[in-house]
Amino acid sequence: MVRLLNVYSISAFIALGGMLIGFDISSTAGVVGTQRYQSYYDNPLGVRQGGITGAMAAGSVIGALSSSALGDWLSRKVTIQLGTVLWCIGASLQASSTSVTMLVIGRMVSGLCIGMTSALVPIYQSEIAPHKIRGRIVSLQHCAIALGMMIQYFIQYGCSFLNSTAAFRLPWALQTVPAVLLFIGLFWLPLSPRWLATKGRWDDMLRVLAFLRTSTSDINDPLVLAEYKEIEEQMRIEREELSSYRELFSKKMRKRLFLGMAVMAWSQLCGFNSLLFFIVYIFDSATISNPLLAASILYIMFLGGSIPTYLWNDRWGRRTSLLVGALSLAFWMYLIGGLFARFGEPNRVENQPFTWLVVDHPAASRCIQASSYLAAVSFAMSFGAVKWIYCPEIMPLRIRTKGVGIAVATNWATNLVLAVAMPALLRTIRWRVFFIFGSFGIAAFIHIWLKAPETKQRTLEEMDEIFEHGEPVWRSFTGVHYSARLDALAKEIERDRLNNFVSIESLDGV
């Protein structure tokens, strides 16, 4: 009989924090093109609309940076609960906003939650996951983001037919539902075993590991004891190091920090998130009929593209997914930009979000639409999921929340810059912005090829070995499969070869 609470169900539930990110992304995308929103907020254009969209990312930067101290102090779980409270406050301010200023403040408060949850949910998932399926477990965060985006967008699409301010107020108010569910449900979920280890709560840590790894919560299971031993050994080594921001920028650690920051930045600079925020503008510019409905297909494609990543990322690997994603995203961005450049013309109507139109070229318009959908699939199968997997697993435990917090803050800071700039760029440099995104995709491919090692199927405690092997990453670890070290240790324990570890037996029944 399958137990209700296991690694999969726990990770799927805490991924509601990812659903909040999806709600955030769609919270403006579905309303910016509606008449009710434009008339109520006095038709915000350019930097003004960018400021509204980017306010969430501004709060997220602060939330991500604060997640390190709070996540180490209060625990990953309790800090996520704190974030859900902030989300409900922010959503309430948005839903009741009477001015652009109030709307921006509400989005910034909600952003504090997004920063906390986007940093700590994948950390929690990676710390409870068995190493052989860690990619699958953490990719649930991305699946939840995609699902949240689709749900929120369709809610907003349905509400767009309302002839009142409820067209945007109701979707913003409904954002509180998953946050309330997450806050309540977290009381029943275990604390992270690795966080318990940092607090010296070894008995509790062993019980949680046994609960997560066995159906009977057997603390004497050899695999449980092997993982316990490996974490204990890693903690012994890490006690000799300083857990501080200063260490993050040390020669030994800054490679990992900058790599995590780069992966997060490339995920934004490749352009898909900017496309996602303003897809209605882009489809309008391509003169696609009913752009709101056409945009809804993109969200379905994005969710569909998340499923293969969930199923096979631990087989494909992080490095391969990122390399293929960078190249494919560059191709779609170049194609969209080229179609706009070849078949577009200036928009003669003033005070529009876009100043370039594709008119009387239905084949080009359909190709732009299809390329946007395929960009969604490419992103979902690469950066969309892998960035949440890769950053937590490459950081050592003692500075994991700090390193991931800075990396996630980089993600939201880049998102902020692009969200503020994108509306103005669509009005000024027009189709050239897609060529810029395509060039960033090529740069991302080169950087990942040179600097990003493969981490699939390795335990979190083995990352030092991966980053300190001393050979170029394209020569080593590209074909690595799962590590057998933990299994070997479990067999030794089972054969009673670790006599100095027998004292664990005394914990039975504690």
Range with top average pLDDT, 121-125, 216-220, 311-315, 393-397: 121-125
Give percent of the chain above pLDDT 90. Answer: 63
C-alpha count within 13 angstroms, C-beta hemisphere, residue 324: 15
Ramachandran angles phi, psi of 357, nearest 5°: -130, 145
Residue-level pLDDT at 58:
94
Residue-level pLDDT at 505:
46
**344-380 pLDDT tens trace:** 898 887 777 777 889 889 999 999 999 999 999 999 9
Q: Annotate 45-95 with DSSP letters as a single string.
A: -HHHHHHHHHHHHHHHHHHHHHHHHHHHHT-HHHHHHHHHHHHHHHHHHHH
Q: What span, in angstroms and rounded, lies between the C-alpha atoms of 269 and 265?
A: 6
Residue-level pLDDT at 104:
95
Stretch 419-428: mean pLDDT: 85
Q: What span, in angstroms and rounded, lies between the C-alpha atoms of 31 and 204?
A: 47
**258-292 pLDDT tens trace:** 999 999 999 999 999 888 888 888 998 998 988 88
Residue 448 has pLDDT above 80, yes or no: yes
Stretch 167-188: mean pLDDT: 95
Residue ranges of domains in the chain, CATH in brackets: 7-192+236-467 (1.20.1250.20)
Give percent of the chain above pLDDT 70. Answer: 93
Residue-level pLDDT at 496:
66
Residue 115 has pLDDT above 80, yes or no: yes
**119-169 pLDDT tens trace:** 999 999 999 999 999 999 999 999 999 999 999 989 988 888 888 899 899
Task: List the structure tokens of 414.
Answer: 């880049």
Residue-level pLDDT at 43:
83
Residue 3 has pLDDT above 80, yes or no: no
pLDDT band at 470 (very low <50, low <70, confident <90, very high): low
Q: What is the separation, in whole angstroms, between the first and last Cα of the chain?
A: 26
Among 142, 197, 62, residue whose Cα is nearest residue 391: 142
Q: What span, in angstroms and rounded, lies between the C-alpha atoms of 181 and 189?
A: 13
**36-81 pLDDT tens trace:** 888 899 888 778 888 898 899 999 999 999 999 999 999 999 999 9
Point out the least confidently predicted range of 18-22, 206-210, 457-461, 505-509: 505-509
Is the backbone of residue 75 left (phi > 0), alpha (psi -120 to 50) or beta?
left
Across the chain, mean pLDDT equals 89
Q: What span, in angstroms and rounded, lies between the C-alpha atoms of 503 and 203?
A: 12
Residue-level pLDDT at 459:
87
